[in-house]
Amino acid sequence: MSVKALKGFKDIVPGEVETWQFIEQTARAIFHRFNLDEIKVPILEKTKLFVRSIGETTDIVEKEMYTFADRNGSSLTMRPEGTASVLRAYIENGLQSKKAVQKLYTIGPMFRHERPQKGRLRQFHQMSVEILGTDLPRVDAEVMAMAWLILKELGLSASLEINSLGCKKCRPAFNKALLDFLGKAENLCDDCLRRRETNPLRVLDCKSAHCQEQYEKAPSILDHICQSCADHFQAVKKGLDLLAVPYAVNSFMVRGLDYYTRTTFELVTDALGAQSAVGAGGRYDGLVAQLGGPDVPGIGFAMGMERLALLLDQQEGSVPVATPDLFVVALGEAAQEKGYALTHAARKAGLAAIMDLQDRSLKNQMKQAGKAMVRFALIMGEDELSNGKAVLRNMANREQQDISINDDVATWATELYSLVIQ
Ligand code: ATP
Ligand code: MG
C-alpha cells in the first residue's frame, strides 16, 4: 500500500503552483515598494514561546498546536503563526539596535490541528508583515493599505474591517462591562461558558449563531476605550481616508490571539464560505517586552495563501502564465549534437529553452512545442546543417524565417536571444 500525505497536508503541484508563484511574486514586489526587509525564521520553536505570546486560553494554544517532546524531552511546537517567531528573532538578534524601526516580512508554512475543509488546512501558508518600533497611527493605516494593495494587484477584492481593542489600561473596564452582560446572557454554548471564566473577550468571536444573536446587544469596546486609544483610532481612520482605502468599523471583531492591543483588522470576503478572512492583523504593543525584549510597539498582519489561491482560481485568467521561449527541434544525430550545445548556450544566454533529446520525428517535436506553448521553434535537420541555415518559427503567427547557423553556439544563442526576446 502506498503511503499518503497526512490529512490536512497538501501538495501544491504543477498547474497549481503557478498561482502560488504569482501570489508570492506580487507580494514580494509590494513589500519591496514599502521598504520591508525579508526575515526567515525556523518552523520549530520552544512551546513556551507560543504559549506566552498567543495566550494560554486561545483556541490555537488550547487545541490547535502541533506540540511534541523532542528526543531529549523538551517540548517543541511547529509554529502556528509567524509573529511570535519573528519577535523572538528580533530580540535574539538585537535587530532594534540596527534600525529604530524594523519593517519585516516572512513567507512560509504554519501548522494548526484544525478540521480540514476548503480554505482550512493543517499545514497552511502565510505571508506576514511585522513593523516594530513605532506606534504612529499612520503606520497602522499604511500597513492596512499595503495588505489592501496586495489584494488589488492580485486582482482580488475584499472588505477591510477595523476595530480598536484598547490597551492594558482600558481593557479591564471593558472586560468588566462585558462580564456584567455575559452574567445575564442565557443559554450560551459550552465554549462561551468556558471563555466567560477564562478569557471573556474571546466570546465575541464565537461562531454559534445563537450566541452571536445575543452578542448583538453586548457592550461595544469602542465605548470603553481610553482617550488616548480613542485618539489613536481616530487618527488611524483619518490615515485610511488619506490613503483612500475604504473600511468599515466592526466593534465586535476581537481576533483569536491575546496579544492584540488597539488597532485590529480583517480582510473579509464572502466568496469562500465559512473561511471568510483572507488576511488579518493588528497592533501588539507590549508583546516584545513580554517576550523579554525592549519595550517597543509593533503591528503586523498575515495573509492566508491558500485562501488567496482559491479566490484566484475562481477567477479564470487572472494568473499570468510564463511560457518557454524556445524549442530546439533537432532532427538526426548531427543536428542533435549541435542542438544539444545550443540549448544549453541559450539557457546561459537567458532563454527558457527545451529540446527533445530522443530525436523523435518533426511532427512529434512540433506537437511537443505546441503543447509546451513555446513562443518560438528553431528547426534544423541534415539539410539545414549543410546549407548553414536553420528555420525560426514564431509559433503564434506561424511566420518563419531562415537564420544563419553560427558555429559558435554562444554567439548564436545571443543572436537568438535578440530575435526571441523583443
Ligand atoms: P479563521 O477565523 O479563519 O480561523 P484566524 O483568525 O485563525 O482565521 P489568523 O490566525 O489571524 O487566522 O491567520 C491569518 C490568516 O491566515 C487568516 O486570515 C487566514 O487567511 C489564514 N489561515 C488561518 N488559519 C488557516 C488554516 N487553518 N488554513 C488556511 N489558512 C488559514
Ligand atoms: Mg482559526
- Residue located nearest, by CA, to atom 26 of ligand 1: 120
Q: Distance, CA 306 to ligand 1 centroid (Å)?
A: 10
Q: How far apart are CA 420 and CA 422, in angstroms?
A: 6
User: Cα–Cα distance between 342 and 409 in angstroms, integer?
Assistant: 5
> In this structure, are 33 and 105 located in the same domain?
yes
Query: 251 and 386 share a domain?
Result: no
Last residue of a domain, one of 313, 340, 363: 313
- The answer as to whether 367 is a domain residue is yes
79 lies in the same domain as 157: yes
257 inside domain: yes
- Which residue's C-alpha comes closest to atom 5 of ligand 1? 256
What is the CATH number for 32?
3.30.930.10
Q: Are residues 259 and 402 in the same domain?
A: no
Q: Is the dihedral of CA 256, 126, 42, 82 positive or negative?
A: negative
pLDDT score of 349: 97
Q: How far apart are CA 145 and CA 132, in angstroms?
A: 17
With cut-offs at 50, 70 and 90, classify the pLDDT of residue 184: confident
Q: What is the pLDDT of residue 195?
A: 87
Residue the block writes with cell 517535436: 365
Please give the residue range of the domain that contains residue 46.
Answer: 17-170+225-313
Mean pLDDT for 104-112 is 98
Residue 295 CA to residue 151 CA, distance in Å, equals 32
The response to whether residue 304 sits with its C-beta less than 6 Å from ligand 1 reads yes
Q: Residue 240 — very low, low, confident or very high, per pLDDT cuts 50/70/90?
A: very high
| Ligand 1 center to 304 CA (angstroms) | 6
pLDDT at 370: 96
- The answer to whether the beta carbons of residues 274 and 260 sit under 8 Å apart is no
d(CA 139, CA 129): 12
Helix (H) or strand (E) holding 220: none
For residues 40-64, give the mean pLDDT.
95
d(CA 348, CA 354): 13
Do 306 and 340 lie in a common domain? no
Is any ligand 1 atom within 6 A of the Cβ of residue 280?
Answer: yes
Output the residue whose Cα is nearest ligand 1's atom 28: 120
Confidence at 80, pLDDT banded by 50, 70, 90 = very high
Domain annotation covers residue 304: yes
Mean pLDDT of 329-351: 98
Q: What is the DSSP letter of 15?
A: T
* Residue 257 and residue 119 share a domain: yes
Residues 339 and 304 in one domain: no
Confidence at residue 199, expressed as pLDDT on a 0 to 100 scale: 86
Query: Is residue 229 pLDDT above 80, yes or no?
Result: yes
Within-domain flag for 207: no
**Nearest CA residue ID for atom 22, ligand 1:** 304
Residue of minimum CA distance from atom 2 in ligand 1:
277
| Cα distance between the two ends of the chain | 52
Q: Which atom from ligand 1 is nearest to the alpha carbon of 278?
A: 20
What's the average model confidence in pLDDT over 387-407? 96
pLDDT computed for residue 257 by the predictor = 82
Does the residue 5 lie in any domain? no
Q: Are residues 46 and 147 in the same domain?
A: yes
Give the tens place of pLDDT for each residue, 274-333.
889 999 999 999 999 999 999 999 999 999 999 999 999 999 888 998 899 999 999 999
All three cell numbers of 232: 489613536
What local confidence, expressed as pLDDT, does residue 198 receive? 87
How much is the pLDDT for 255? 84
Given 313, 348, 381, the domain boundary residue is 313
Q: Is the residue at 6 inside a domain?
A: no
Q: How far is the CA of 256 from the centre of ligand 2 (A)?
A: 7
DSSP-assigned letters across all residues of 304-347 = EHHHHHHHHHHSTT-S-----SEEEEE-SHHHHHHHHHHHHHHH
The Cα 219–Cα 217 span in angstroms is: 7
| Whether residue 284 sits in one domain with residue 361 | no
**Whether residue 153 is found in the same domain as residue 296:** yes
> Is residue 85 scored above 80 in pLDDT?
yes
Instruction: For the chain, state the CA radius of gyration.
Output: 28
Atom of ligand 1 nearest to the CA of 303: 15
User: Based on the domain organization, do 304 and 359 belong to the same domain?
Assistant: no
pLDDT of residue 385: 95
- The per-residue pLDDT for 123 is 98
From 110, 212, 269, the mutation candidate for ligand 1 (largest count of ligand atoms within 8 A of CB) is 110
Q: Does 61 reside within a domain?
A: yes
pLDDT above 90: residue 346: yes
Supply the pLDDT for residue 6: 98
At residue 133, the pLDDT reads 98
Does residue 243 register a pLDDT over 90? yes
279 lines ligand 1 (CB under 6 A): yes
Q: Within a domain: residue 12?
A: no
Burial of 339: CB neighbours in 10 Å, binned 0-12, 13-18, 19+: buried
Lookup result for grid cell 499518503: 4
Query: Of the candidates 155, 156, 175, 177, which has an alpha carbon nearest to the alpha carbon of residue 165?
Result: 175
Count of the separate structural domains present in the chain: 2
Burial class, 276, CB count within 10 angstroms (exposed 0-12 / middle 13-18 / buried 19+): middle
Q: What is the pLDDT of residues 119-158, one digit of tens each?
A: 999 999 999 999 999 999 999 999 999 999 999 999 999 9
Could you tell me if 122 and 7 are in contact, meaning their C-beta atoms sit under 8 angstroms apart? yes
How far does residue 284's CA lie from ligand 2's centre (Å)?
A: 18
**Which CATH number covers residue 364?**
3.40.50.800
Residue 124 beta carbon below 6 angstroms from any ligand 1 atom: yes
Please tell me the predicted confidence (pLDDT) of residue 113. 98
Q: Which cell numbers hold the place of 26?
A: 506580487
Co-location of 86 and 62 in the same domain: yes
- 294 phi and psi, to 5 degrees? -70, 160
Q: Distance, CA 120 to ligand 2 centroid (Å)?
A: 9
Residue 168, classified by CB atoms within 10 Å of its CB into exposed (0-12), middle (13-18) or buried (19+), is: exposed
Find the 277 Cα to ligand 2 centroid distance in Å. Answer: 10
Indicate the residue among 313, 336, 353 that finishes a domain: 313
Of 344, 50, 363, the closest CA to residue 355 belongs to: 344
Phi and psi dihedrals of 350, rounded to 5?
110, 10
Closest residue by CA, ligand 1 atom 23? 304
